[in-house]
Structure 1
């Protein structure tokens, strides 16, 4: 009879937990940490170097200035998350303000004029999305072409004029009230909060939002997993167009006058806000909270430099440097994660 000898079982190594990340590592890994740090630094610098930056009135002014650029940046975020870019968003908004104001002046009630303007902005977003999804044209080329068309269309539509608005509906977002008798707030701030929360919910708590991130990360892989990438991309452009329509309403609430020459750098300011906020130009990473912080950084920078008496050309230089640094950081992070 043969006997078999079994070797004693090798004792398993005790499970080891991965070392806990330090507070610094967690902060660096958080996409919102960079823009938050930039915002805090900017506030401290301008508070120390100017006498008026920390005034309550200036704080309210900063928030009001944030509303238009911030709303444009929210729509821009949706498109950049899909690895696209929208160079025409400010032109869409400006055309929306012109149509709303002119219709409200001459032919339609304010509410109906507003509806027409918002639907027009949404339709333009749908046209851009169709060109991107059906003809497979690069978003940069499509939106650059739309920018040229809409800039000329706005000038032709306005015939060199600007249109004032006085309707209660059209200027509703600019209506002011006071918290604690001192802090000035507008209805536009409430609309912005609803929009921010709504878009955050769509992107983080719905299957549509997961599809948007998947398409931005790798469109072909998303298609192979069963995601209708064309429909997802088209819906992004349509929703972004709607957001630009709300930005047009915000613009009329802030300044009740539609000017075809307004917001000429609005597209670049919105892209700057999105990139500074940690959303990757290569798609699939970022989100609404970072964009809000990025838009605040842009607004605080512009306001603080104005308070300090710095020429607007230098403000553009500072903003351009911020964009380059933000994109460079994003590229480094992507390479390390690969």
Structure 2
């Protein structure tokens, strides 16, 4: 009976972050009466929805033992492209959004091609495309924020009432994407191939898995998700901001690692990433309610990611 109960429990990589999330929430609830309000929880979800979607793409890449430093800048480029296409060129807003997402997917495909075809390290490739995306964003926008965005592009920033709490459509979209990605990785052959390639690419190749196609698909899917994050960025801020995404690459990696996904690949879960995103959001929100300066929030986030990476390293060595 005891063994059967243990088998039903979530893996330690997910259970540990979940316990940390509960402990952090209880601590901040004891420090601020406002923390446990429905409106505050909605605010936390709004604050993390962009990074949350970026972290989805980052998770797919980290599961294959890669990493993507370009995600934040790619997201910023996508947001500028879709907003300028709609505002300056007068293109239908829905078509403009599609163009922005396509640009992000194209950069994802470029990353994947360089990693799989030329065998360049993912760290170096995405460091290069991060700078390229940043430069293109500044050049195309003239380093100016794009304003007067059509109302239809701000739909996911709008809210609906659930009881007494206002919830944005963007947070619903984020949660929906997490559910779809979780089902994809758990219940489909391509999803299981992602884990197999991350765990041991040579063994995966010998079993007949087209490892190159899997890797390319992962980077393209990540690019698509960064494009969706671009759309959410425009919807939430109401502008195309060329300065957006400056820290989103590190925030997404932090969420993925805190959520228990191994940097060595082949081990981790989408549920863990969502918990990691929420942990980062809860800490920043709770510290803000306590009146702690933002610089200390960054300090706490840094400590969290080092602890998570150290735990991953020790677990990997033990395995």
Name the SS of the counterpart of 2:13 in structure 1: coil
The match for 1:131 is 114
CA–CA distance in 2 between the matches of 1:228 and 1:165? 46
Residue from 155, 170, 178 that aligns with 1:196:
178
Q: CA deviation digits over 1:158-192, x for unaligned, max 9?
A: 11210124323311101111012x11111112211
1:64 Cα deviation from its structure 2 partner: 0.6
- Does 2:123 align with 1:146? no
The match for 1:69 is 51
1:26 Cα deviation from its structure 2 partner: 7.2
The match for 2:245 is 263
The match for 1:117 is 100
- Does 2:231 align with 1:220? no
Aligned residues of 2:44 and 2:281 also touching (Cα < 8 A):
yes
The match for 1:91 is 73
User: How many residues of Structure 1 are paired with residues of Structure 2 in the alignment?
Assistant: 318
More helix by share: 2
CA–CA distance in 1 between the matches of 2:316 and 2:70? 27
1:228 Cα deviation from its structure 2 partner: 0.6
- Does 2:41 align with 1:80? no
Larger radius of gyration: 1
Alignment of 1:189-338 (within 5 A): 189-337=171-319
Residue from 161, 167, 189 that aligns with 1:178:
161
Aligned residues of 1:28 and 1:34 also touching (Cα < 8 A):
no
1:245 Cα deviation from its structure 2 partner: 0.5
The answer to which of 43-52 and 126-135 deviates more is 43-52
CA–CA distance in 2 between the matches of 1:165 and 1:210? 44
Unaligned segments of structure 1, at least 5 residues:
1-18
1:24 Cα deviation from its structure 2 partner: 7.5
Unaligned segments of structure 2, at least 5 residues:
none
Q: CA deviation digits over 1:222-265, x for unaligned, max 9?
A: 11111111000000000000000001111112111121112311
TM-score (norm 1): 0.90
CA–CA distance in 1 between the matches of 2:24 and 2:8? 22
TM-score (norm 2): 0.95
